[in-house]
Every structure is written in structure tokens, then in C-alpha cells.
Amino acid sequence: MAKTLGTIVALSHQIVFFGGAGVSTESGIPDFRSADGLYNQELGASIPPEEILSHSFFVSHTAEFFAYYRTHLLHPQARPNQAHLALAELERREKLSAVITQNIDGLHQMAGSRAVLELHGSVHRNHCLACGRHYGLDLVAASPGIPRCPACAGVVRPDVVLYEESLDPGVMSQAVRELAGADTLIVGGTSLAVYPAAGLLQAFRGRELVLINREPTPADRLATLVIRGSIGQTLAEFAD
Ligand code: NAD
């Protein structure tokens, strides 16, 4: 008989969670590929989000980039949901060693997770392209048009990995180390369509691979347990 998620978690000593935008949809942040995701919204349909969120678009259409970014990727009111809270609780219980996320919203940290590897950066970190000064989310969220450095008037950009840009090699190698040492990998809320992040799954050597997603993913056939449903509801049993 197939093991339940509860049994797998109970028998695991070093769980790694690998997630994506689907982890935050229950916090009100749209993902890319669901029916109400950014790909299917008006602007996303005419110019794909990948193009707007690319390095070359940022350079050539900086004002349009920030207009889209502020409207669609900044969600300062969003709060962690049951999935974020459960993962933080599993870390506190020393069951889970790391969350590897493709998300840029900072909700895992807000839920209390400490070992968070942000493959695509964070909206909470920003820096001036001219003088290098660092800023939080407020400056970018509050500026009309292109955010400017209060000290030198340079453009302030988010520390978010845009399409055409490379992932931080330090974060990547830490993620590989975590995956290689894990006995259980829980993958959730990701279409596994974005590379190189999705390719990281190959570093996992453990026994139990659990997939929690509303839609099928390319890794389902490798999983020991596939749960087709809400990640918040599925993980709620582990929330404090
Ligand atoms: P994606 O949109 O390609 O896929 C999301 C997947 O999650 C889909 O397969 C969908 O069926 C599933 N899903 C959605 N809500 C779910 C729920 N409540 N429970 C279970 N499954 C659910 O997202 P991706 O794979 O993360 O790739 C998109 C890229 O977009 C990533 O690189 C990410 O950085 C970025 N992004 C991030 C955010 C964020 O920070 N919250 C939001 C949008 C996009």
C-alpha cells in the first residue's frame, strides 16, 4: 500500500522542499501558468511575462518593466498561507533542512522559515545600479515610474533574477548540497517548466519524492507519491 504524506514525513529525517509560484497562490499572488495566472491575463497574453521580465526588456523599456513589475509582482499585503506555515513548522521540528524556492515574494521567511534558498532572488532586496546602495521593498513600491536612488539618482533595480540572467552560483550549489543530502524531497506548486531551476531535482538522491500540484508535472512519473490538489490544504496538517 502506498504511504501517506503523514507517514513519509514521520519517517523522514532530512526533508527538502522545492517550490514555485503555486505555493503563494493561496496568499493571493497569481502564478504564471494557472488559468488565472499571469500568462492568461491581458498584458501577459499580448507580451509574455518572460519577455517583460527579461534583462533586455528591463534595459530597453525600463519604465514599462517597472509598471508591470509593480502591478503584477509586488504584493506587499500578501501574508503566508498554510503551506508556508507548515514548512516553517517542519523546520522548527528539525524535520526539514531547507526550502528551495523559485518565488521572489519572501513569504517563507515571513512564515518563520530560516533555511530558505531563493533561486530567483527577492522583491525585498534592491540595489542602485549606479552607487550600489541597498534598499528594501518600500522604495520600489512607492516610486511612481522608475525608482531612483535617493542618494545619487541612479536606477534602483530589484535583486530578482530576470530571464536571460544567470542564477547565483552560490545559491545553486547550496541547493544542490541540500538536495543531495535529503532523504525526502517534497516538490509543490511548480510546473517545473522554468530552467535551470527545475533541473535541480536531478541532484536528489533520497528515497521519497512527493509531488503536490494542481496539474500534472514532468516529474510525476518519478514520484513515490503524487497529490493532485491544493498545497495549502495538503500541508495544513503539519501547520502549528
Ligand atoms: P508556474 O506558474 O509555472 O506553475 C505553478 C504551478 O503551481 C502550476 O502547475 C499550478 O497548477 C500549480 N498551483 C497553483 N496554485 C496551486 C495550489 N494552491 N496548490 C497546488 N498547486 C498549485 O510557476 P513556477 O513553476 O514557479 O514558475 C514560474 C516562475 O515565476 C518562477 O520562476 C517564479 O520565480 C516566478 N513567479 C513567482 C511568483 C512569486 O514569487 N509568488 C509569482 C509568479 C511567478
Per the DSSP assignment, residues forming a β-bridge with 116 are 99
Q: Which of 181-185, 214-218, 236-240 has the lowest mean pLDDT?
A: 236-240
Q: How large a percentage of the chain has pLDDT more than 70?
A: 96
Q: List pLDDT tens digits, range 110-156.
A: 999 999 999 999 999 999 999 999 999 999 999 999 999 999 999 99
Q: Is the dihedral of CA 76, 41, 36, 59 positive or negative?
A: negative
State the amino acid at position 200 in one-letter form. Answer: L
Alpha carbon distance 16, 26 (integer Å): 21
Alpha carbon distance 128, 215 (integer Å): 39
- Ligand 1 proximal residues by C-beta, below 6 Å: 20-22, 24-26, 29, 31-34, 37, 102-105, 120, 189-191, 193-194, 213-215, 230-232
Q: List pLDDT tens digits, range 95-108.
A: 999 999 999 999 99
Alpha carbon distance 109, 14 (integer Å): 19
Alpha carbon distance 140, 120 (integer Å): 18
Residue 33 Cα to ligand 1 midpoint, Å, equals: 7
User: What per-residue confidence (pLDDT) applies to 43?
Assistant: 56
Domains of the chain with CATH codes? 1-29+80-120+166-240 (3.40.50.1220), 32-74+125-160 (3.30.1600.10)
The pTM score is 0.95
User: What per-residue confidence (pLDDT) applies to 42?
Assistant: 59
First to last CA, the chain: 28
Cell of 30: 497569481
Q: List pLDDT tens digits, range 22-62.
A: 999 999 999 987 767 777 665 545 788 889 999 999 999 99
Q: Name the residue of 26, 31, 75 to mutate for ligand 1: max ligand atoms within 8 A of Cβ.
A: 31
Residue 196, pLDDT > 90, answer no
